[in-house]
Amino acid sequence: MVLLLLVVLLPQQILIATSRGQASVSVTNETGTAAVAAVLLAHPLGLTVSLDGATARVTLNDRVFEFDVGSPFFRYDGAAYPLVGAPYIARDTLFLPLHWLADHVPRLLPSRYRWNPLLARLDERPAPAAAAAAGVPTTNPITGLRLAHTIVVDPGHGGIDPGNPGLTLPRGVTEKDITLGIGKLLRAELVRRGLNVVLTRATDTLIDLASRPLFCRADCDLFVSIHVNAMPAGRRQTQVNGVETYFVSDAKTEDQKRVAQMENDALRFSPAGSGGPLGFILNDLQLNEYLRESARLAELVQGKVAAIHPGEDRGVQQGPFLVLAAARRPSILVETGFATNQKDGAFLGSTEGQRKIALAIADGIVAYLLEFERKIAGTGGGQAR
């Protein structure tokens, strides 16, 4: 039913409006994902394409977007972004997912492009005058933040890796569904507050563990991974409940080791050799700065989520999480509750519970960024990271 609705809503044509004129471009849906032929975009948008093996370099407005044919992501400015479908070649023509043009391009080049979903229309605006582009910071009326920030939100697991099945989640639901639900709600809330957000996955697909931190590169301030906890079989299995937030470090307690082992276990779904020993990555971290910042972010997020959570406040924890170690930004992992506890499971499985968790994580992130901006203003710095 939902699928049918989506197909009906997909535009057959999109309109591209520029100061040089307008053009209609047809959308194909032959692989189940809306796509547009790059050659058709070349005319109105002045886009150029060069193919080198399976790699397609698409230049738009002097910006280079790099695609791998058959892979549902693209690279831009040193970071990777997910796509709902993969670029493909048919009849000697490169087809790019409409998602890239309608969603990512307006978000990455907001001063140049705006997408109107109701009219299926992409507007190109004239290049801003040099003075306006000078980048004088203005205060965001919702958050009070003065700088632009990008948050990478990482819904744990996905695709063939269901995460923990738990005992108390609604029928057919596993950890990967909860993390995706919270991740999307978190994205919506952060975007509403004027922050830029990149999701490592927006659908039920598996992104291997080693690739997730690659989403957090040049244009990324924070990395937030979302997970659901579980207790192993035993006397305490159904009793233990509540929320805890991790930052990367050596595990100090048995419980911390258990959670890190559980989340790192997704490594078995990664291609052989792509992981690399965790110790190596940990040694290589600029530990001091990231540790301190990550610990503070963890503290603020934990405080906000614990305040709305039906379970216990299990506090800030540390563990050797592969997914956090490689991000090279302040990064945390939120274990949003126990799928082995009745009350936690019901909360996590409900839309209202997921929404409350997402809003609380957003509150913690904004509190951290406000503090961070005050700190760099105090030291005379002024550069967004």
Backbone angles phi, psi at 336, to 5 degrees: -80, 0
* Signed CA dihedral, 138, 142, 147, 149: sign only: negative
**Cβ atoms of 348 and 244 closer than 8 Å:** no
Which of 11/181 has CB closer to Zn ion? 181
Cα first-last separation, the chain: 43
Pair 255, 240: CB distance under 8 Å: no
Q: Which is nearer to Zn ion, 227 or 329 (CB)?
A: 227
| Number of CB atoms found within 10 A of residue 351's CB | 9
Nearest position to Zn ion, beta carbon:
227
SS3 318: strand
Q: For 29-40, b where at least 16 C-beta lie within 10 A, e where not — what string?
A: eeeebbbbbbeb
Burial of 23 (0-12, 13-18, 19+ CB in 10 A): middle
Q: How far is the CB of 163 from Zn ion (least distance, A)?
A: 5
Q: Quick one: 293 or 335, whose CB is closer to Zn ion?
A: 335
Q: Which residues contact 289 (CB under 8 A, 6 or more apart)?
A: none
Nearer to Zn ion, 260 or 366 (CB): 260
Nearer to Zn ion, 178 or 306 (CB): 178
By DSSP bridging, strand 79-82 and strand 88-90 are: unpaired
- Tokens 């930004």, located at residue: 329
**Residue numbers of the site for Zn ion (CB under 5 A)?**
156, 163, 227, 263
Q: 263 or 373: whose CB is closer to Zn ion? A: 263
